[in-house]
Amino acid sequence: MKLLFEKSVPGRRGVRPCRSDVPTSIHINERLLRPKPPQLPELSELDVVRHFTELSRRNFGVDTNFYPLGSCTMKYNPKVSEIIGGYPGFADLHPLLPQLRMGGILTQGALQVLYETDLLLREITGMAAFTMQPLAGAHGELTGVMIISAYHRDRGSRRTTLLIPDSAHGTNPASASIAGYQVQAVPSDATGVMDVQALRRMLNDQVAGLMLTCPNTLGLFNPHIKEICRLVHEADGLVYYDGANLNAITGMVRPGDIGFDIVHINLHKTFATPHGGGGPGAGPVGVVERLADYLPVSLVVKRDDGTFALEYDRPKSIGYVAPFYGNFGVILRAYVYIRMLGREGLERVAANAVLNANYVKEKLKGHYDLPFAQACKHECVFSARRQMEQHLHAIDIAKALIDAGFHPPTVYFPTIVKESLMIEPTETESRETLDGFIEAMIEIARRAQTDPDSLRSAPRTTPVGRLDETAAARQINVAFPEVG
- Three-state SS at 199: helix
Residue 283 falls inside a structural domain: yes
Q: Which of the four pLDDT bands, split at 50, 70 and 90, describes residue 72?
A: confident
Residue 70 falls inside a structural domain: no
Distances in whole angstroms, Cα of residue 197 to Cα of each of 66, 223, 395: 40, 14, 35
* Mean pLDDT estimate for the chain: 92
Residue 478 falls inside a structural domain: no
DSSP strands (E only) in 156-302? 161-165, 182-186, 207-213, 238-243, 262-265, 285-287, 299-302
Supply the pLDDT for residue 370. 97
**pTM of this prediction?**
0.89
* 375-386: average pLDDT: 97
For residues 49 and 132, state if they share a domain. no
Supply the pLDDT for residue 189. 96
Does residue 298 have a cis bond before it (omega within 30 degrees)?
A: yes
Q: Which residue has the higher pLDDT, 469 or 419?
A: 419
For residues 325 and 360, state if they share a domain. no
Give the CATH number of the domain where residue 317 resides.
Answer: 3.40.640.10
For residues 111 and 234, state if they share a domain. yes
DSSP string of 352-400?
A: HHHHHHHHHHHHHTTTSB-S--S--SS-EEEE-TTGGGGT--HHHHHHH
CA 353 to chain centre: 17
Closest CA to 379 of 186, 213, 174, 265: 213
Listed residues 281, 312, 340: the one ending a domain: 340
Cβ-Cβ contacts under 8 Å for 61 (sequence gap 6 or more): 67, 274, 276
For residues 4 and 127, state if they share a domain. no
Listed residues 297, 317, 340: the one ending a domain: 340
Supply the pLDDT for residue 245. 94
For residues 272 and 375, state if they share a domain. no
Distances in whole angstroms, Cα of residue 175 to Cα of each of 26, 144, 168, 432: 46, 9, 12, 40
For residues 121 and 39, state if they share a domain. no
Give me the domain span that covers residue 323. Answer: 81-340
CB–CB of 283/260 below 8 Å? no
DSSP string of 244-281?
A: TTGGGTTTT--HHHHT-SEEEE-HHHHSS----TT---
Distances in whole angstroms, Cα of residue 7 to Cα of each of 17, 20, 52, 58, 481: 22, 28, 13, 19, 12
Give the CATH number of the domain where residue 435 resides.
Answer: 3.90.1150.10
pLDDT over 60 (residue 481) = no
Closest CA to 217 of 362, 401, 417: 417
For residues 182 and 295, state if they share a domain. yes
pLDDT in tens, 303-359: 999 999 899 999 999 999 998 888 999 999 999 999 999 999 999 999 999 999 999
Supply the pLDDT for residue 483. 45
pLDDT over 50 (residue 211) = yes
Cβ-Cβ contacts under 8 Å for 297 (sequence gap 6 or more): 311, 312, 314, 317, 319, 320
CB–CB of 357/146 below 8 Å? no
DSSP strands (E only) in 25-119? none
Compute the distance between CA of residue 304 and CA of residue 138 in angstroms, rounded to an integer.
Answer: 35
Cβ-Cβ contacts under 8 Å for 177 (sequence gap 6 or more): 183
| φ, ψ dihedrals at 172, nearest 5° | -60, -60
Residue 317 falls inside a structural domain: yes
Residue 27 falls inside a structural domain: no
Q: DSSP code of 194?
A: B
Q: Which residue has the higher pLDDT, 57 or 382?
A: 382
For residues 92 and 122, state if they share a domain. yes
Residue 257 falls inside a structural domain: yes
Residue 64 falls inside a structural domain: no
As for how many domains the chain has, the answer is: 3
- Which residue type, as a one-letter code, is found at position 281? G
Supply the pLDDT for residue 472. 81
For residues 121 and 210, state if they share a domain. yes
pLDDT over 70 (residue 24) = no
For residues 244 and 298, state if they share a domain. yes
Residue 480 falls inside a structural domain: no
For residues 390 and 361, state if they share a domain. yes
For residues 357 and 335, state if they share a domain. no
